[in-house]
């Protein structure tokens, strides 16, 4: 760590000296310049932190982020990146303190990301909805982590039991993804959660429609098979109930999951575990 600290100070000194203006009255680095901010991120993150062994779990990760902040304290990306290890390790209080700074510095760039963290990691569903609605004012058809803002609002309203709102959210999500074209398919997790919503609403026909569409895109998805089995159980169809539960169990054992990047760090809404499948098979 001592060697890393010396390296940080040396790099900082060299950068400040190289950027020094002719007039001492002017700042050495124009921190208001997007070019300068992006250059710092490229230097310390793209060419530095991202090449570390174990990346986020490497102590030097924080040092690289702090290097940017020491030079230009108003680089929003530095705070967001500094928070990533805390998010992955479940230290949410530390993470949100940093992400709040990122949002203050660059609301267009980081409000939706904070909403994603609230929805998926801390289950602050009401707070997440507020963030996504604010983000939509900047980008009406914006995406975060491969999904539209209405997708996350739909998850939040599903978990809050606001089913009519969730239904409208998922319809909007599908429209943004497909442009209203019936021959275009939305993301399979959109189909999954829409099916789960209708299952919760006891709309069996619609639940089956969306879950079967989901399975057409991703036949091994354990959750889609599990919830489809639950619909058939409700209808008293023991044969199809058992069929889809067995597919869910085998798919889970074979390693199939929701296919979301952050599933290794947190459970997604309505995500199932193997013991739930096996209990349902008894």
The DSSP string of 61-93 is HHHHHHHHHHH-TT-HHHHHHHHHHHHHTT-HH
Q: How far apart are CA 94 and CA 96, in angstroms?
A: 6
Q: How far apart are CA 26 and CA 15, in angstroms?
A: 16
Percent pLDDT > 90 in the chain is 85
Q: Are 178 and 170 in contact (CB under 8 A)?
A: no
Q: Tell whether the model's pLDDT for residue 153 goes beyond 90.
A: yes
Phi and psi angles of residue 144, each rounded to the nearest 5 degrees, phi first:
-140, 125
Q: How far apart are CA 207 and CA 191, in angstroms?
A: 9
Q: How far apart are CA 132 and CA 64, in angstroms?
A: 30
Mean pLDDT (whole number) for 57-73 = 95
Tell me the residue length of the chain. Answer: 282
Burial 28-44 (b: 16+ CB within 10 A, else e): ebeeeeeebbeebbebb
Q: Tell whether the model's pLDDT for residue 28 goes beyond 80.
A: no
For the segment 218-243, what is each residue's pLDDT rounded down to a tens digit?
Answer: 999 999 999 999 999 999 999 999 99
* Residue 67 banded pLDDT, cuts 50, 70, 90: very high
Domains parsed from the chain with CATH numbers: 1-105 (1.25.40), 187-282 (1.25.40.10)
Least confident of 14-23, 45-54, 171-180, 259-268: 14-23
* Closest residue by Cα to residue 112 from 85, 138, 73: 138
**What is the pLDDT of the chain when averaged over all its residues?**
91
Q: Tell whether the model's pLDDT for residue 39 goes beyond 80.
A: yes
* Residue 170 banded pLDDT, cuts 50, 70, 90: very high
Whole-angstrom distance between the N-terminal and C-terminal Cα of the chain?
54
């Amino acid at each position: 760590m001592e060697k890393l600290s010396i390296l940080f100070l040396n790099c900082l000194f060299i950068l400040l000296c190289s950027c020094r203006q002719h007039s001492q009255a002017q700042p050495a680095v124009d921190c208001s310049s997007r070019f300068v901010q992006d250059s710092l991120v490229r230097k310390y993150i793209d060419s530095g932190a991202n090449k570390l062994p174990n990346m986020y779990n490497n102590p030097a990760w924080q040092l690289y982020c702090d290097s940017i902040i020491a030079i230009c304290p108003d680089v929003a990306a530095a705070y967001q990146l500094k928070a990533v290890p805390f998010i992955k390790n479940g230290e949410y209080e530390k993470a949100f303190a940093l992400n709040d700074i990122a949002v203050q510095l660059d609301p267009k760039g980081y409000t939706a990301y904070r909403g994603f963290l609230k929805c998926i990691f801390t289950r602050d569903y009401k707070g997440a909805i507020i963030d996504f609605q604010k983000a939509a004012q900047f980008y009406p058809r914006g995406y975060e982590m491969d999904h539209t803002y209405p997708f996350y609002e739909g998850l939040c309203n599903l978990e809050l039991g606001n089913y009519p709102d969730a239904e409208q959210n998922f319809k909007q999500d599908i429209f943004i993804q497909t442009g209203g074209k019936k021959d275009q398919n939305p993301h399979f997790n959109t189909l999954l959660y829409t099916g789960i919503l209708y299952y919760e609403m006891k709309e069996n026909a619609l639940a089956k429609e969306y879950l079967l569409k989901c399975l057409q895109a991703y036949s091994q998805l354990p959750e889609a098979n599990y919830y489809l089995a639950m619909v058939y159980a409700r209808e008293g169809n023991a044969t199809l109930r058992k069929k889809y539960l067995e597919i869910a169990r085998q798919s889970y054992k074979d390693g199939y999951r929701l296919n979301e990047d952050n599933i290794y760090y947190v459970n997604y809404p309505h995500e199932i575990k193997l013991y739930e499948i096996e209990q349902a098979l008894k």
